[in-house]
Amino acid sequence: MELYLDSANLKEIEEGFKLGFLNGLTTTPTFMQKEGITDIDGTIVKLSKMVPVLQIEALGNSAEEVLAEAERQLALGLDPKKTVFKIPVSLEGVRACKLLRDKGYLVNVHLVYTLQQAYMAMHAGATYVCPLVGRLQDQGHDALALVEQCVNAVDLYDYDTKIMFSSVRHAEHVRNAINVGVHTITVPLKVMKQLTENNFTTLGTDQFIMDTRLMMVKVKEAIKGINPLVTENTSVTDAIIKMTEFGYGAVTVTKADGSIKGVFTDGSLRKLIGEKGRDILSKNLSDLEYREPITIDANVLLNDASVMFKKTNVDTIVVTDGGKPVGMLDIQDMKG
């Protein structure tokens, strides 16, 4: 199934065709008008150089006028092998289709709402026949049944025509198109971006990235270079200020000889205030009791840190190098 982008927005078109595998671009005068485009010919020429195949409107009140408009556009420098002329279905439209096809030009008969219209376009030799699914559904019609009937007609009568599924409103339409077996679909960029999205895929990918990180990254590479140290003679208030300065929820408390006494966290503060009240703010850190500090060597892998976090059930571990504190590792650092 060919995949076209449906747009006239230059930024969208540039972004979409970076994918490298889109078959072409469909656009309309309405799209161009909404984008504020006034130089239609200049825009068409520019787009023709950006995309593999360009489908553009060829309008006229008679078949001869449509043919003249198509040839006028080709004279701008368009490649007839890479340009598809879109013609609204009508009696003159299908006659124009035959005139253009006899000259070897590519034609998309569009604005198709019935099987009869599609049949006339197929029989006139249309390269593409384009039912508008979203618009038909807006009117309460069974658009998918129409598309399926068009596909069946191509197969049954061996027409050299591709059915293009258009007026795509959501990702479900793309699934519908695949199930029906259309030959081509044209999709807005916002819908195209949704086609590879799935919450379970995101969760699985994140898990793979996390597990790879655990096996490849060392602790010293994961810490933020933040090493908030205070001595045990520091007041609780100054320790809070230190945490605020570093934007971190903990400080490492050291003894006079530089060895680690423990870790003071914002969680510790809340607990102490709850137990002893505001008076705790006038105390020094030396007045507090600490459990044995949990440390990890800076040169081990994050996988070891992960095991330690699970084993100790703490949120923060002091990172040491040669016995000296060089930073702190928390749960968020594990994720990168």
Q: Point out the residues that are catalytic.
A: 86
Q: Half-sphere exposure of 73 toward its Cβ, with a 13 Å CA cutoff?
A: 27
d(CA 103, CA 181): 29
d(CA 26, CA 4): 7
* Both structure tokens of 198: 């799935």
* Both structure tokens of 40: 């239609």
* Both structure tokens of 302: 């994050």
* Both structure tokens of 314: 């703490």
d(CA 226, CA 229): 9
**Residue 58 contacts residue 70 (beta carbons within 8 Å):** yes
